[in-house]
Amino acid sequence: MGKSSKDKRDAYYRLAKEQGWRARSAFKLLQLDEEFNLFENVTRVVDLCAAPGSWSQVLSRVLIKNEKFGRCAWEDREAKFRQRMLNAIPSESTDSQQQEERQDFEMTNSQDESSNRSDVKIVSIDLQPISPLPGVITLRADITHPATVPLLLKALDPSYDPEASANQQAQHPVDLVISDGAPDVTGLHDLDIYVQSQLLFAALNLALCVLKPGGKFVAKIFRGRNVDLLYAQLKVFFEKVYVAKPRSSRASSVEAFIVCINFQPPEGFKASLEEPLGVGSRLSELQQQQQDSICQSGPSKAGDDGITEVIPEDLSGSDNKYRWVAPFVACGDLSAFDSDASYKLAAGHISLPPVQPPTAPPYKRAIELRRQNGGAYGKPVVSK
Ligand code: SAM
């Protein structure tokens, strides 16, 4: 996909470059925050699967630099951008003008270093290296590997000693764990959903080791056939579980985000990476305990958020006691860009370069090899 055709197709892709975000995903987190107030009273955050780092940028700007990205701030920019793009004003915008606007956006509120908060801790992890960001500790690690937990605990608390501590719970637990993890999609639907769910369980296991009671967990999911089993499993640990679809996430994609609020580990529960959830029967045992306690105290269907749980007929039988349908929440204003639509570009539109080109993409070697071999169709055959 060429730069300019992608520009035309995807308004958020273009907007991200204008505003200096490393990826269009930044808008997903901003729209989720708009709906769920994710950053309220948050000082310690872990960002899993964070490269190239647009979510970490949001965290850094909102939590450390105290920037406001409420509707007024980023949508104001969006409105300006939309106006220009729809040719509502004659576009004399040149490449250098657009670059200036991007710089202007980056500089807004960030000039005054003295207002930076020092009590905030952000740790970001990815398999790929993440270019530095103000106030963000970055780790290059695999979130599915048990060795990543001590690394994370050490990053959160430098006095943490993995040798001395048999108990791997964090000393200073975190308020929010976010994960935008996605495997390299193969196109084989069931396989992609399976690999994605493994990443989600890895993220959840890490979150359970570091979250404080009352904490929040947000993670990308692919909505597959048995996603209601997953919602029910998350409900074992969190008071509220929602499935959210930000407007910047394409409606045509199976992608959504689970937003889990108020971490309430079951009584006696200890996170253990020797016995991770998602493997063996530990999770279903916990669910059984929860079911038993609900049976004793009687079911409650209406939440204090006014959202009533709906249990479809086919999920209400005893065979389906481990299923539960999470309330669905669409986030982002309806007037915001539609991520599936193509918008007309202003005359003379010049595509901006990426804010942060990939540092070490997994496809780099493949491209090198392809080039060596004369491109996509192989070395030209020279007839003698
Ligand atoms: N949230 C990021 C942002 O805003 O820039 C985008 C994340 S991108 C959609 C998904 C990331 O998941 C990729 O960078 C990939 O390297 C990472 N990832 C996939 N599997 C992983 C694993 N096992 N451990 C750590 N990161 C992983």
| 39 C-alpha to ligand 1 centroid (Å) | 21
Residue 381 lies in a domain: no
According to the annotation, is 180 in a ligand binding site?
A: yes
Residue 382 lies in a domain: no
Please report, for residues 8, 45, 140, 160, the alpha-carbon distance to residue 155 in angstroms, rounded to integers and kept in the order given: 41, 11, 12, 9
Task: Decide: 172 and 184 in contact? Cβ < 8 Å.
Answer: no
In a 10 Å sphere around its CB, with 0-12 CB exposed, 13-18 middle and 19+ buried, how is residue 242 labelled?
Answer: buried
Judged against a pLDDT cut of 60, whether residue 325 lies above it is answered with yes
Q: Which protein residues are within 6 Å of ligand 1, measured from CB? A: 22-23, 25, 49-55, 125-128, 142-144, 180-183, 199
Give nearest CA residue, ligand 1 atom 17: 49
Task: Decide: 101 and 355 in contact? Cβ < 8 Å.
Answer: no
Candidate from 180, 192, 222, 250 with most ligand 1 atoms within 8 A of CB, to mutate: 180
Residue 384 lies in a domain: no
* Rounded distance between C-alpha atoms, residue 56 and residue 126, angstroms: 11
Tell me the pLDDT tens digit for each residue of 332-363: 877 778 888 777 777 777 777 778 776 777 67
What range does the domain containing 88 cover?
3-359
Residue 125 lies in a domain: yes
Among 152, 123, 3, residue whose Cα is nearest residue 60: 123
Instruction: For residue 93, give both structure tokens.
Output: 């915008």
Q: How many domains does the chain have?
A: 1
The residue-averaged pLDDT of 308-313 equals 47
Task: Decide: 90 and 31 in contact? Cβ < 8 Å.
Answer: no
According to the annotation, is 142 in a ligand binding site?
A: yes
Q: Are strands 255-263 and 238-246 parallel, antiparallel or unpaired?
A: antiparallel
Active site residues: 220
Tell me the pLDDT tens digit for each residue of 46-98: 999 999 999 999 999 999 988 877 654 555 556 665 555 554 444 444 555 55
Tell me the pLDDT tens digit for each residue of 216-246: 999 999 887 778 888 988 999 999 999 999 9
DSSP secondary structure string for all residues of 245-308: EETTS-TTSSEEEEEEEEE-PPTT----SSS-TTSTTHHHHHHHHHHHHHHHH----B-TTSPB
| Distance from chain centroid for Cα 301 | 29
Residue 371 lies in a domain: no
Tell me the pLDDT tens digit for each residue of 254-263: 899 999 999 9
Residue 380 lies in a domain: no
Residue 225 lies in a domain: yes
Residue 368 lies in a domain: no
Share of the chain above pLDDT 70, in %: 69
Where residue 99 sits, what CATH number does that domain have? 3.40.50.150
Instruction: For residue 145, give both structure tokens.
Output: 């590997």
pTM score = 0.79
Q: Which residue has the higher pLDDT, 97 or 131?
A: 131
